[in-house]
Amino acid sequence: MKPTTSPFRFMSPRQMGYSFNWVGRIGLAVIVFWALVAIFGPMLQPYSPGEIVDWDYFGPMTHQYLLGTDYLGRDVLSRILMGARYTVGIALVSVFLACAGGVVLGMVAAVIGGWFDMILSRLLDAFNGIPSLLFGLVVVAAVGSSIPVLVMTLAAIYLPGAYRFARALAVNVNTMDFVTVARARGEKTPYLILREIFPNILGPVLADLGLRFVFIVLVLSGLSFLGLGVQPPYADWGALVRENIGALSFGAPAIIFPSVAIASLTISVNMFIDNLPTKIRDRS
Amino acid sequence: MTKTPTNWTGRDDAMVEDMIRRGATRRQLLKMLMASGVGVAAGGSLLMRAGAAHAETPVSGGHLRAAGWSSSTADTLDPAKASLSTDYVRCCAFYNRLTFLDEAGEVQMELAEKIETDDAKTWNVTLRSGVTFHDGKTLTSDDVLYSLNRHLDPAVGSKVNSIAKQMTEITKVDDLNLRIVLDQANADLPAILALHHFLIIADGTTDFAKANGTGAFICETFEPGVRSVGKKNPDYWKAEGPYLDSFEFIAISDDNARVNALLSGDIQLAAAINPRSVRLVESNNSVKTSVTTSGNYSNLNMRLDIDPGDKAGFVEGMKYLINREAIQKSLFRGLAEVANDQPVSPADRYHNPNLKAREFDPERAKALFDKAGLLGTEIPIVASDAATSSVDMATIVQQAGRDVGMNFKVERVPSDGYWSNYWLKAPVHFGNINPRPTPDILFSLLYASDAPWNESHYKSDKFDAMLSEARGALDEDKRTSIYWEMQEMVANEAGTAIPVYISNVDALSSKVGGLKPNPLGGMMGYAFAEYVWLKD
Amino acid sequence: MSNQPLVSIRDLKIGATTDAGRRVEIIRGVSFDIQPGEIVALIGESGSGKTTIALSLMGHTRTGCGIDAGTIRIDQHDVTAMSEAKRARIRGTEVSYVPQSAAAAFNPSQRIIDQVIEVTAIHKLLDRDAAEKKAVELFRALALPNPDTIGARYPHQVSGGQLQRLSAAMALIGDPKLVIFDEPTTALDVTTQIEVLRAFRSVMEKGGMAGVYVSHDLAVVAQIADRIIVLKSGEIQEEGTAQQILDAPTHPYTRELLAAFEPVPHVPLDVPQDASRQPILEVRNLSAGYGPVRNGEPAAKILKDINFRLQPGKNLGVIGESGSGKSTLARAISGILPPYQGEVVVNGVVQEPSLAQRSKEQLRHAQIVFQLPDTALNPAQPIGAILARPLRFYHNMRGAACEARVIELLDMVQLPAALRHRLPGELSGGQKQRVNLARALAADPKLILCDEITSALDTVVGAAIIELLKELQRELELSYMFISHDLSTVEAICDDVLVMYKGEVVEALPAARMSEDARHPYSRLLVSSVPKLDTGWLAGLEQDPELIARFANR
Amino acid sequence: MLLSYSTSILVLQRLAIALLTLVIVSFAVFFATELLPGDVAQILLGQAATPEAVAGLREAMGLNQPAFLRFLGWLAGLLHGDFGISYVNNMPVADLIGDRLVNSLRLAGVTTLVSVPVSLCLGIGAAMWRGSLFDRIVTVLTISVISVPEFMVATLAVLIFAVWLGWLPALSYGADVSSFSAMLKAYAMPVISLSFVVCAQMIRMTRAAVIDTINTPYVEMALLKGARRSRMVLRHALPNALGPIANAIALSLSYLVGGVIIVETIFNYPGVAKLMVDAVATRDLPLIQSCAMIFCVSYLSLITLADLMAILSNPRLRK
């Protein structure tokens, strides 16, 4: 039973030498969909995201407002399309920054070891001790709020976690013979990290990245609520859910669709990461 | 936005019903119904339902649990330091004040038997006899002297220091009489003494871990930021009430949680609920709403002394750009009244009814902006959740600006430290003013040249002169005409745009009786504990 | 007993699905019988399917594999037809299993006695006290030291040899009719191996159980098996009694297996031995150890005052059992583990203790090749990149010249040029070890330290690697330091031999005359413990018990 | 069982490092708070913060002393157990924190009692029947629970159980906790919402840890001794997976003390997290420092506990 692949895929993964099960494919398809929405969203939105188009609030789905209206009477579909750019964009950049920083520091700590490793680990542990709320407030007060600041704050909050995870992996790979041989050859730390250790911890690091992406999407709205980052009339999906929470009592679409959007994005990211395409090693 | 409201009236008859419950006169109600196109016949049935609300008899006993919207470790039992609704409710229950404002805004005597003056400058206050504090000490003029003088001592950090300054001389005549001399004649002194901060405490009190007042309830538990519990004061000096055996006041900051707590019966009174939850409360017959037009408002301040406020025409342009109707209907679901850019609300008897609010005219605004040379420049508007609904108002202004080529950037800043860091300082920002009993207090606090809260830095000697003239005037008609003209000056010259007066909506269980609106604020001027009762 | 065979396997076919979804047949129709009390050996190289067959006897196949056709009958149980639940009931009671690496097969967080008697608990054969008493008897039968208390210890508190015998006790506690030995002695040192084999033989004879002995070492199998079956890529090549296979093998593949055992006499390289020439490697009172250093001495001192000299073109063998410090010596010389005392001189130049301070040129001279092919090559880098790196690092070779040199290196180690695009995971053990060698040669070293490079390979593949080393030595005038616990390999390649025991060199002598004039008692014990291709060897072997007690770590 | 010598050294070393971290956090929190604009006097006066009023109040509250000296004074006080006096309502910080900490620990405790067993069972079950329908359901459920914003879970719980069904009280604090059943009812809602979030993470990590140990030779050995699947996992795989599982539990539980601000606001549950928010809002230095210390201590002790558990569960390390 070979599932049909999505239409625009020229060659099935099998011909390209990869096995890729259908769960992973669904995940990838949804991710690609939301990525496209993030890129072309603003062109597709029927109304401007800030414009109050209907007197009624938490309105039902009608042909005029496909996904109903929000608490102010603005079109939910337009706001979700606009929000996609922020949620997908900011979350992706932040998660990559956090994981890149965490993984590099983790590998350096594992390779150099000794006092450097101990101090760095303790510092980042201490950083975890500071509640993210205080950290967010301080950043707003010290640097003002803008999207880059929001991205850096999110990256800083999630870097210690990524560091701790990557360091544990790197320590195991560091004991392998091929690293010892490279060291015996006289290789320096940058080479050891880049070519010997990193390729071998990429798989689990990607899985961790998927999980962190989920957390960042949710914390994103918390920080915007603090006044850090996405300014009105724009908002990320988390903020849409937060501002329309009142609709829950009416079961109005204004709360349902932003939540569905978040859930579909985060679940598909994890479905894709858990079922990454693996190279077929069958020596036919 | 030129869309006329198509389906608004059908779903918002709840708002009409509230107008009735607020004791709106028949004339005002009919005018409102006409404006929204509801046929007279349909309007008739609404009037009938309202009538049944009044004829009820009080019932004694029971424990009432009420929830406000914010409390923190800064909660206090010191009336001078009270800053949040939670503090006002607590203090009103445990203490009393010399005078109190009733439903119609008239001054009623409380601890004072009578307050007389002939020139509005020196006032003689006679205290009621036989009133005792909770610790048994009887009330004397020493207590009142101490309570009033302490507002001038900076160490107390009193919120009404700037108002108390006008009482230059407070002297004791005998145990039940004292004389207050003002630096300038002010006919509103009795109304000023009705402010919550002027509650009377025992002479020499400095430790406010417990409350020793003359109020209707004795303080049983007080945990700052958590809860306060009051027990009925058995030998309360008033003949009537309190009806409740005990009451508990907590704070639930999340709007939906507060409404849900009321709907699930955990609390019997939820203060200041979000206009959007009104429809939910109305559809449930075990709960009802109580709406008060109390003169609270969030205003858009444009400082006249710095760019862009100093550009001629900018302020006026903005006043035309604000779509007051959209704010009143979309933001507050009709639970607000369109305002005419001046602080004195319709609930106040000096309100100038023939000063029309500027209608929404984007084209005219565009011409003014063009003249001021500001078309297309990026203008930041600072808004925060600290000022009610200011972020949404800013978005509405931004949207209207976009249609006429203005580039407004809304900067949402944290409510943490908003009042000290952004309010009065940013070129264009939002403020929020709580109701005050008299126009004199409002104008001297907000628009006098030396006013501490002069949000738009409005300076006008003529205005200052009229202010002190009105203050001393005993002749009502003269006073009214001065205040009417002052309101016109503020509306046309000051840099503050006040789109609507926000109605305060409290939701309560249908078992609660006796809650009446009050100009001093929601929850019956925060003094509900003394007057409400629980039907079982 | 009825003469019906205890076990009969008819036309067994086992298949596996590869990650590409293709069904591959790894056992292609195997049939044989086992008489009650008879021990049958399954001989073959890794990948020949011998372990798969052994496991299928217990109705167990590893993930991805399944029994496609054929029948397996044990006593009156038709295993292939039974459900998983029924199969579980016969495991441990009818047929039991002795694992290859006992150290890995014992649960580290449980006491030994609990695991040994677990079979009786699972199948409710005996209550706890009776089971413990039976276990202690088995420990005594398997010649384990202090049998009453060894059960109370945890697996990491006993030696490899003891664990192997404990796993035998675990297999026998359920009185099975058939015991499967899955290469139980490969991971052991030669001296311990003898003890374990003796214990197995005596217990099996006393119990009268049938046995299946899986191994790739013909000499070991010859001592214990009645009949031998030779397997290659899932098919039986030849079947016969032990004596007949050893003396008169008919199938060419069996003959090839036997040939790999004949020690090929080592022809020393005729390099001019004038005294003036610098020794390629000289070590003067070298001491090294692990752990936190306190006043100049590490906590665990492993090497104690090692001295030797290696002339260019010559090969030095280092023989010793596990724990003798031979690997630590290689790490100390290469600077991976800086020695805390003594000097290492390469080509006359004194090397810094830690490799970090050594110059690139110094590091280039001595290269190291490790034992386990799987962990010695970075699984994420293609073979071409692995070989290109040292070329770029030492000789700064790039582009086409580098590519050409890589192909040349692959050719030198007799590997096809096309292999450079493949990942290590796609190569066999032997091929990976050749790439390891090629990587060492890329640096054009003068000395290569080989740390047990053949012990993880099958005998035939190992022998080929030794041939390759000799050929390279002739061409490139290299010299090797060859570390191993296998005497025959050392004799096949080395000129001189150092015998190490507990961190000290007990004896140094030319390799050729190793078996005749080893003087030190430990050397003699080592030499005598190497099994010979003769069924009666183990029975006839008598070693002075006092020697055994002193040296072999029971 | 007596900890071996080397393990007790490790614990001592870990405690020394924990102390060092505490000091680092304390200084970091101090500098962070200094960066925030405005001070206690300005915030207390709020809109009435005219310059003279602020100066007067600051003088009265003794805030004229430079902030750093006041911080050092507080730190010195901490050494002999005095948490200092709150600026805002000059009650001793210990009293303010006292019962709130008890509330937080009680909520965290009940949530742990509920969520740890549930996640262990689901995690181990999913690992045991890996690839089965049960495993797939558990995996999809955990991912979807993680993806739902926390305040939505809490609000939904209130709506369903308190408003529509009316089984449980909407507010968990203040309700009479006399009888055990009343206490259960009162805590049900916050515990349900918190358990959702915490369980999801723990299930994922437990499943991964157990799957790793299932693929080991000694578990296959148990199979070859005739053991059933459940015995293989519970007696052989699980004991060796305790280390990583303990770590996972520690990480998730450390979230329970500091990260529950959302649940505390929606259920009006006066815990330490909300106290920290108030403290930061009013720039109440001693209160902020005390709360930060509590979060840090709980986080570090949980991690140290997890490491200790990992050592104890592995006889090779325990010696």
Domains of chain A: 22-281 (1.10.3720.10)
Flag whether pLDDT at C169 surpasses 50. Answer: yes
Assess contact for B477 and B496: CB atoms under 8 A: no
Identical fold, C7-101+177-261 and C314-339+354-519:
yes
Query: Tell me: the pLDDT tens digits for A127-151?
Result: 877 777 778 777 877 777 788 888 9
The pLDDT of residue C281:
86
Flag whether pLDDT at C273 surpasses 70. Answer: no
User: CA–CA separation, A136 vs A157, rounded Å?
Assistant: 9
- Asked if A284 and C390 come within 8 Å (Cβ–Cβ), the reply is no
Chain D residues whose CB is inside 8 A of the B284 CB are: none
Assess contact for D88 and D275: CB atoms under 8 A: no
User: CA–CA separation, A100 vs A151, rounded Å?
Assistant: 14
Nearest to A233 among B1, B7, B398 (CB): B398
The pLDDT of residue D182:
75
Flag whether pLDDT at B47 surpasses 60. Answer: no
Q: Residue C297 — very low, low, confident or very high, per pLDDT cuts 50/70/90?
A: confident
In a domain, D105, yes or no: yes
**For the residues of B367-383, what is the DSSP string, one character each?**
HHHHHHT-TT-EEEEEE
Residues in a beta bridge with C284: C343
Work out the average pLDDT over D171-175: 65
User: CA–CA separation, C428 vs C464, rounded Å?
Assistant: 14
In a domain, D205, yes or no: yes
- Asked if B7 and A73 come within 8 Å (Cβ–Cβ), the reply is no
The pLDDT of residue B49:
38
The pLDDT of residue A226:
66
Flag whether pLDDT at B476 surpasses 90. Answer: no
Work out the average pLDDT over B264-272: 89
The pLDDT of residue B35:
47
| Cβ–Cβ pairs < 8 A, chains A and B | 78
The pLDDT of residue D2:
53
The pLDDT of residue C218:
83
Nearest to A55 among B6, B392, B399 (CB): B6
- Whether the CB of A131 is below 8 Å from some CB of chain D: the reply is yes
Nearest to C109 among D220, D226, D239 (CB): D239
The pLDDT of residue A76:
92
Flag whether pLDDT at D160 surpasses 50. Answer: yes
**A13–chain C nearest CA distance, Å:** 11
**For the residues of C237-287, what is the DSSP string, one character each?**
EEEEEHHHHHH---SHHHHHHHHTTSPPPP--------TTSPPSEEEEEEE
- Asked if C97 and D217 come within 8 Å (Cβ–Cβ), the reply is no
- Whether the CB of D64 is below 8 Å from some CB of chain B: the reply is no
- Whether the CB of C292 is below 8 Å from some CB of chain A: the reply is no
Work out the average pLDDT over D267-280: 83
Query: Tell me: the pLDDT tens digits for B148-203?
Result: 999 888 788 788 888 888 888 899 989 899 999 988 888 888 888 988 889 999 98
Nearest to A178 among C18, C358, C378 (CB): C378
CATH code, D273: 1.10.3720.10
User: Based on C-alpha coordinates, what's the Rg of chain C?
Assistant: 25
Nearest to B7 among A55, A72, A141 (CB): A55
- Whether the CB of D86 is below 8 Å from some CB of chain B: the reply is yes
The pLDDT of residue A31:
92
In a domain, D106, yes or no: yes
Least confident of B4-13, C11-20, C374-383: B4-13
Chain B residues whose CB is inside 8 A of the A56 CB are: 7-8, 11
The alpha carbon of residue D93 and the mean position of all alpha carbons in its chain are separated, in whole angstroms, by 21
Chain D residues whose CB is inside 8 A of the C55 CB are: 224
Query: Tell me: the pLDDT tens digits for A15-33?
Result: 667 778 888 899 999 999 9
Flag whether pLDDT at C337 surpasses 70. Answer: yes
The pLDDT of residue A104:
94
The pLDDT of residue B44:
38
- The class (CATH top level) of C7-101+177-261 is alpha beta
**What is the edge-to-edge ordering of all strands in the sheet holding B112-117?**
B112-117, B122-127, B177-182, B167-174
**D238–chain C nearest CA distance, Å:** 10
Structural domains of chain D, count: 1
Strands (E), C270-417: 281-294, 297-310, 315-319, 341-346, 349-350, 366-369
- Asked if A134 and D296 come within 8 Å (Cβ–Cβ), the reply is no
Q: Residue D258 — very low, low, confident or very high, per pLDDT cuts 50/70/90?
A: low
Q: Residue B9 — very low, low, confident or very high, per pLDDT cuts 50/70/90?
A: very low
Q: Residue C22 — very low, low, confident or very high, per pLDDT cuts 50/70/90?
A: confident
Flag whether pLDDT at A7 surpasses 70. Answer: no
The pLDDT of residue B126:
92
- Asked if B414 and A226 come within 8 Å (Cβ–Cβ), the reply is yes
Chain D residues whose CB is inside 8 A of the C89 CB are: 226
Q: Considering chain C, what is the average pLDDT of its residues?
A: 85
Q: Considering chain B, what is the average pLDDT of its residues?
A: 83
Residue C55 makes CB contacts below 8 A (sequence gap 6+) with: C61, C62, C97, C180, C182, D224
The pLDDT of residue A155:
92
User: CA–CA separation, C488 vs A163, rounded Å?
Assistant: 49
How large a percentage of chain A has pLDDT more than 90? 21
Work out the average pLDDT over D92-118: 88
In a domain, D78, yes or no: no
Flag whether pLDDT at B66 surpasses 90. Answer: yes
Q: Residue C388 — very low, low, confident or very high, per pLDDT cuts 50/70/90?
A: very high
Work out the average pLDDT over D120-147: 88
Query: Tell me: the pLDDT tens digits for D187-207?
Result: 888 888 888 888 888 898 888
The pLDDT of residue A12:
66
Work out the average pLDDT over B354-359: 88
User: CA–CA separation, B380 vs B398, rounded Å?
Assistant: 10
The pLDDT of residue B38:
42
Q: Which range marks the domain in which residue D236 is found?
A: 84-311
The pLDDT of residue B41:
38
The pLDDT of residue B299:
92
Flag whether pLDDT at B368 surpasses 80. Answer: yes
- Asked if C119 and D226 come within 8 Å (Cβ–Cβ), the reply is yes
Q: Considering chain D, what is the average pLDDT of its residues?
A: 83
Q: How many C-beta neighbours within 10 Å does residue C204 have?
A: 20
- Asked if D55 and B72 come within 8 Å (Cβ–Cβ), the reply is no
| CA-based nearest residue in chain A for residue B403 | A51
| Interior angle at CA C460, CA C455 and CA C461, nearest 5 | 65
Flag whether pLDDT at B21 surpasses 50. Answer: no
Amino acid at B437: P
Nearest Cα residue to B381 out of B281, B308, B272: B308
Helix (H), strand (E) at residue B232? strand B227-232
Work out the average pLDDT over B466-488: 88
Assess contact for C511 and C497: CB atoms under 8 A: yes
**B473–chain A nearest CA distance, Å:** 46
Give domain C314-339+354-519's CATH superfamily. Answer: P-loop containing nucleotide triphosphate hydrolases (3.40.50.300)
Q: Report residue B95 as tokens.
A: 């203490």
Flag whether pLDDT at D131 surpasses 50. Answer: yes
Query: Tell me: the pLDDT tens digits for B435-457?
Result: 888 888 888 888 888 887 888 88
Report which of residues C111 and B28 the model is more confident about: C111
- Domain range list for chain C: 7-101+177-261, 314-339+354-519
In a domain, D71, yes or no: no
Q: Residue B40 — very low, low, confident or very high, per pLDDT cuts 50/70/90?
A: very low
